[in-house]
Amino acid sequence: MKEEQGSGGCCGSQDCDGHDGQEKRLGWHEYFMSVAHLISRRATCTRGHIGAVIVRDHNILSTGYNGAPSGLPHCNETNCRIYRSTHPDGTIEENCVNTIHAEINAIAQAAKHGVSIKDADIYITASPCIHCLKVLINVGIKTIYYDKPYKIEHIDELLRLSGVRLVNVHVEEC
């Protein structure tokens, strides 16, 4: 897999307090990744807050965060039901039965509102799990921009075979 690096940083050359006397406009990658981080703050999963933004032609098409399906109880200390599965390399994967991942929620929102996401890109606060990557491939996402890595070694082969690009865009949160 050829992973790429994108430019990042919340404020470019200035510090997060904006003390260089001139405010720098955010680039597109910083903008969309910052939106993904903001959206992640709505997540209801007790194990991690992930946000996703689907974008085409510099326009936001859909957003999602991880949590329970609409109208169902959110996870808490007594309602988080973890299941374990074993990856072929022997590592143990833990997931919650109640939680829908941010990427899937963003796809579902687009579908619910009749928005085509074919040939779009997605910005995610963490790289996708193997299950979400398979769905992203099927809906026609071309590039996945992520901030923090999550088990990237498990998705190498699918990325290589699919031609979907994976690009790291780290944004410092101010």
For this structure, is 103 an active site residue? yes
The Cα-based distances of 164 to 104, 108, 121, 144 in angstroms read 17, 20, 10, 7
* CA-angle at 60, arms to 48 and 17, nearest 5°: 65
d(CA 169, CA 149): 10
DSSP for residue 152: G
Query: Is 132 known as a binding-site position?
Result: yes
Structure-token pair, residue 114: 């009749």
Query: Is 101 known as a binding-site position?
Result: yes
Q: From the candidates 30, 103, 172, 173, which is the catalytic residue?
A: 103
**Which residues are annotated as part of the binding site for Zn(2+)?**
101, 129, 132
State the catalytic residues: 103
**Which residues are annotated as part of the binding site?**
101, 129, 132
